[in-house]
Amino acid sequence: MSAPTSSASLYPPGGFGPPKDRRGHAAGTLGLPTGTEVFSADNHISLAHDIFFERFPESLKDKAPRVWYEDGAYQLGRKGKSFLPGDFSHVLMQYDPLAGSGSADLDARIADLRADGIAKELAFPNALLALLFYPDKEIRELCFRIYNAYIAELQERSNGCFYGVGLINWWDGDGARRTLAELKSLGLKTFLLPLSAGKDDDGKVIDYGGAAMIPVWEAIEESGVPVSHHIGESPLSAPCEVNSVAVGMMHNVAPFRELFSKYIFSGILDRHPGLNVGWFEGGINWVPAALQDAEHMLASFQHMLDRPVEHDVRYYWRTHMRASFMVDPLGLSLIDQIGVDRVMWSSDYPHNESTFGYSEKSLAAVVQAVGPADAARIVSANVGEFLGL
């Protein structure tokens, strides 16, 4: 088995252009075993209907966030003002004109993916992320519950092609238990948990590894629903006047270390050994370095820890975690350190950084790197196992 030393061979000199101008053209098996159904572990869907205003109770309609289409992008906001920052809206304009980008046309979406060689997908929200830290927590939870019901309806209509990522109340134990039970009853298979937990009612930053979060982790563990973490929440620490989109993405693509460390060193996984955790869109090449550094830090600071770490560092990765990638030849070259069963391929449709329009090249690179049998696990079976399908 071999892997290319660079992803540059996949990219034409002028790049691929905006996704709204791309089209899939995959053909054949790409070297995968016959019958392999490619399952993208990380796609995205834009909310295209004004569901909060439509579904809020009459007494709360005046507080409902609104959804509208403007200048080629689906917006989310109130009183005509979008919650989305300028760069975010500009990026949305690169792909929301695709009929399949928004939730209004599921058939167009499935057709786009089929043309790109993809049979199934797990879809994270786009602009909805603007509500993750909405200050009114009652309204926030209501929005999440309405979105879950809506995305579950799409999932049901897709006949096994589309699986939606839900959202839960993560800021109190009772709320977590309540929203997880409802999410499961709707048939959703995972939920997005922000990399930052935000602040409590007193304005104090919530620590995922702290005692106050134990009831939430207990609720998640008892539910059996896997946790999904995704890139995209990290603002730049300073203004960027030139090419801020690219700088921002470089910053956002590697955000997992802090929470990864809390799972291990703060005892989250020791206290809750039933947790199943996925890291999405950050690639897989970060994993060997994070494991190596965690081993070094444990050896160096073990005498100063408040509580013991019950297992070796790699145990937590092997037993509890998986990560997704789109194009990661470096990560694939280190697959023996990561584990074939711990990685999931994704298209990331319809984002700019997605493989949409050249997925056949990305999939063929996986086969080249690890061989057909292991490639089938990476591009199909592993995400199904993660979701419990």
DSSP result, 113-134: HHHTT--EEEEEESGGGGGTT-
Q: Is residue 8 a part of any domain in this protein?
A: no
Q: Grade residue 197 by pLDDT with cuts at 50, 70 and 90.
A: very high
Gap between the Cα atoms of 166 and 361, Å rounded: 30
Q: Is residue 15 a part of any domain in this protein?
A: no
Evaluate if residue 250 carries a pLDDT over 90.
no
Evaluate if residue 1 carries a pLDDT over 60.
no
Gap between the Cα atoms of 155 and 160, Å rounded: 7
Task: Output the CA–CA distances (angstroms, integers) from residue 4 to 8, 23, 178, 323, 365, in the order listed.
Answer: 9, 25, 47, 20, 8
> What is the residue range of 294's domain?
36-387
pLDDT of residue 7: 64
Give the chain's mean pLDDT: 93
Q: Is residue 276 a part of any domain in this protein?
A: yes
**How many domains are contained in the chain?**
1
Question: Which residues share a beta bridge with 163?
Answer: 122
pTM, rounded to two decimals: 0.95
Q: Of 86-90, 165-169, 183-187, 269-273, where does mean pLDDT reach its minimum?
A: 86-90
Q: Grade residue 6 by pLDDT with cuts at 50, 70 and 90.
A: low
The terminus-to-terminus CA distance of the chain in angstroms comes to 29
Q: Grade residue 3 by pLDDT with cuts at 50, 70 and 90.
A: very low
Q: Is residue 26 a part of any domain in this protein?
A: no
Q: Is residue 19 a part of any domain in this protein?
A: no
Q: Of 99-108, 206-215, 244-253, where does mean pLDDT reach its minimum?
A: 244-253
Gap between the Cα atoms of 130 and 292, Å rounded: 34
The residue among 267 and 13 whose pLDDT is bigger is 267
Q: Is residue 20 a part of any domain in this protein?
A: no
Gap between the Cα atoms of 341 and 386, Å rounded: 10
Q: Of 50-59, 88-97, 236-245, where does mean pLDDT reach its minimum?
A: 236-245
Q: Is residue 141 a part of any domain in this protein?
A: yes
Residues 35-69 pLDDT 10s: 999 999 999 999 999 999 999 999 999 999 999 99
pLDDT of residue 110: 97
What would the two tokens of residue 296 be?
A: 């070094």
Q: What is the DSSP letter of 277?
A: E
pLDDT of residue 78: 95
pLDDT of residue 8: 61
Can you give the CATH number for the domain in which 314 is found? Answer: 3.20.20.140
Task: Let me know: does 47 contact 102? Beta carbons within 8 Å.
Answer: yes
Q: Is residue 24 a part of any domain in this protein?
A: no
